[in-house]
Structure 1
Amino acid sequence: MTIRTTQAPPPRTESRGAAPQPRRRPASPLWAAWAFLAPVTLYLGLFYAYPLYRNLDLSLRDYTVRSFVQGDAPFTGLANYRKILDDPTFAPALLHTAVFTAVCLVFQYAIGLALAVFFHQNFRLSATLRALFLVPWLLPLIVSASTWSWMLNSESGVVNTLLGALGVGPVNWLTSPSWSLTSVIIANIWIGVPFNLVVLHSGLQSIPAGLYEAAALDGAGAWQRFWRITFPLLRPVSAITLLLGLVYTLKVFDIIWIMTKGGPADSSTTFATWSYRLGFGNLLPAFGPGAAVGNLLVVAALVFGLIYVRVQRKQALS
């Protein structure tokens, strides 16, 4: 009887001339993070950082049409800023910008909040009516501004026609210095209300319904439930709504330019329209002062943004 024994095969030996293959190391998480951030960083650099740098450079140099093409504009420092501060248009433009922004924000938020509370009741046709209120927000600004220009026309406008039917004389909405700013404010409020409605309505949906039921059992009326529950719990949503509305309203240009072009006699001129008129509205454009006015708007928006961030941090810590 013979017993067969099996031997294990000899281990493979590498040839003397071949070098051992190095092991691949896994990719560093840092490189993966930079790969994901690269598109966003490139986008922000090309479309935000570089335009801001160019605008700052324009405001610090004496650019003309020739020097703008050849790139040999002399450096003037803050001369363009001193020029716009000494300009007689600066004070009216500052006042109009402040009034336009403040009035639009107050009425857009108040009307949007009232409509959001109204539609939060979820009655029949609530969704349909809420969708109809979004039409002004979805229309192009040039269409909205042109429609309001036709409605407020002194001779053939539908608004003056309705006023005439009520026994009120015609109002020169777009051609009177007393009414031009009011006209563009009304148009901008109409355009901005749907945005406030959508954001505030979404905030109302996040409030638990049990709070209202408990308050009703305790005898709280509708007005008390609004001030004690709805309004305090909507503060975070209200803050971001007002901030975004502020940034948008500061830079409103299309509506004012289409309806009044900042006139008559600069009665509806804001920083946005003034900056455009300085840079592109004259035969001899003033690129430097126009860029300086634009930078003032950027600084104003940045200041309010920092204030918002600081308030949010304090609320989070408290």
Structure 2
Amino acid sequence: MASTTRRSRRDIGEGVLAALLLAPAGALLALIVLFPILRLFWLSLHEVRLSEPWAGQPFVGLLNYRDIWADSRFWRSLAHTLLITGITVPGALCVGLGLAFLANLPFRVRWPVRLALLLPWALPLVFSGLIFAWFFDTSYGVVNDVLARLGLEGPAWLSRPGPAMAAICIAIVWKTSSFCALVLLAGLQTIPDTLHEAAAIDGAGRWQRFRHITLPLLRPAIMVALIFRTITAIQTFDIPFAMTRGGPGDATETLAMYVRTTTLDFLDFGYGSALAVVMFLISMAATAWYLRWIRGTSE
């Protein structure tokens, strides 16, 4: 009985010690993550217009969210965001998988290939957008110059909705595929070579080894790459803004760009906060779906 009492006291002491050790990290996390989210949600329930400071910040409840439901520009920007997500996430994953296999080949000197993977990822997003804006420029861009040398007439890439969206997606895939490649390369290096050697001895071909060994063991890395790429794709801002400013018109305006326009150009922080909350909820819903998928496939 006495030993049981001492053990319970020791367990309580260890629990208190763990709570005390985690308290500073929890407080810091609440300060830099939880408080801004709660503040954003609070602003979304009020009418906050810096263009009318005399009006104060009256509580309007869910009025901003009701206005979002009836806002056609919101639905267009959301459609553009989902289109970019649907194209660039699988595109970056497929390109990144190929680059990861290339970097994992048994070259004697592999550092140039791996350095090439780091360069797109290390470049600032706005700088990458400006580079591709120059590539796809109608008058002096590299792409139209190459097409002209081949006897083809290049389109006005950044002046028409369809070509502008295509150019943006190409730029995003180029920029983000290196991140996917680095994550997948780390996953590939955890797969033992002995599994492939044993499968080859048993007569399995390359496709069979890829399908039954590489892909199943690479699934955790693929899930990590998909989660991070989906979240960043939903929040896409820098590259489209640097390339087209959302144009022509609002044909390439993403949800993050609409949030920026509402808050910084129109100075409507209440409605802009509601838009940001919706974007945050979409990101969380996508993350929850991925986690549920991972849990379902692992059971």
Q: Same fold (TM over 0.5)?
A: yes
Q: Deviations over 1:82-113 (max 9, x none)?
A: 21221221222121111101111111000111
Residues 38-82 of structure 1 deviation map (CA, whole Å, 9 limit, x = unaligned): 3322322222111111111121111111676x8941111111112
Task: Write the distance in 2 (CA, Å) between the matches of 1:133 and 1:30.
Answer: 44
- Say if 1:199 and 1:241, in contact at 8 Å, map to a contact too: yes
**Contact 1:177–1:267, Cα closer than 8 Å, also in 2:** yes
| 1:166-315 alignment runs, 5 A limit | 166-282=150-266, 285-315=267-297
Aligned-partner SS, 1:73: coil
**Larger relative helix fraction:** 2
Q: Residue 307 and residue 170 in structure 1: after superposition, are their counterparts in 2 closer, same or farther (change >3 A)?
A: closer
**1:60 to 2:37 alignment:** no
The answer as to whether partners of 2:129 and 2:242 remain within 8 angstroms in 1 is yes
Identity %: 35
Q: Distance in 1 between matches of 2:133 and 2:46?
A: 38
Residue 40 of structure 1 aligns with which residue?
Answer: 25
CA distance in 1, matches of 2:209, 2:86: 28
Q: Is the 8 A contact 1:137 1:194 kept in 2?
A: yes
Does structure 1 conserve the Cα–Cα contact (< 8 Å) formed by 2:68 and 2:275?
A: yes
Between the two structures, name the one with larger relative contact order (CA 8 Å, sep ≥ 6).
2
Q: Deviations 1:162-182 (Å, cap 9, x if unpaired)?
A: 111111113211121221111
**2:105 is aligned with 1:92:** no
Q: Does structure 1 residue 111 correspond to structure 2 residue 98?
A: no
Please report the TM-score for the alignment, with normalisation by the length of structure 2: 0.90
Aligned to 2:107: 123
- Report if the CA contact (8 A) 2:117-2:182 is conserved: no
Separation (CA, whole Å) in 2 of partners of 1:178 and 1:315: 37
Equivalent residue letter for 1:195: F
Amino acid at match of 2:274: A
What is the root-mean-square deviation of aligned Cα atoms in Å? Answer: 2.1
Distance in 2 separating the partners of 1:114 and 1:266: 34
Residue 161, structure 1, aligned to residue 149, structure 2: no
Deviates more, 1:58-67 or 1:30-39: 30-39
Question: C-alpha separation between the residues in 2 aligned to 1:225 and 1:309?
Answer: 27
The answer to whether the 8 A contact 2:49-2:269 is kept is: yes
Asked if 2 retains the 8 angstrom alpha-carbon contact of 1:67 and 1:73, the reply is no
Unaligned runs of 5+ in 1: 1-25
CA distance in 2, matches of 1:106, 1:312: 17
Q: What is the one-letter code of the residue matched to 2:173?
A: I
Instruction: Return 5+ residue gaps in structure 2 as ranges.
Output: 1-9
d(CA) in 1 for partners of 2:91, 2:105: 22
Q: Which amino acid aligns with 2:190?
A: S
How many residue pairs end up in the alignment? 289
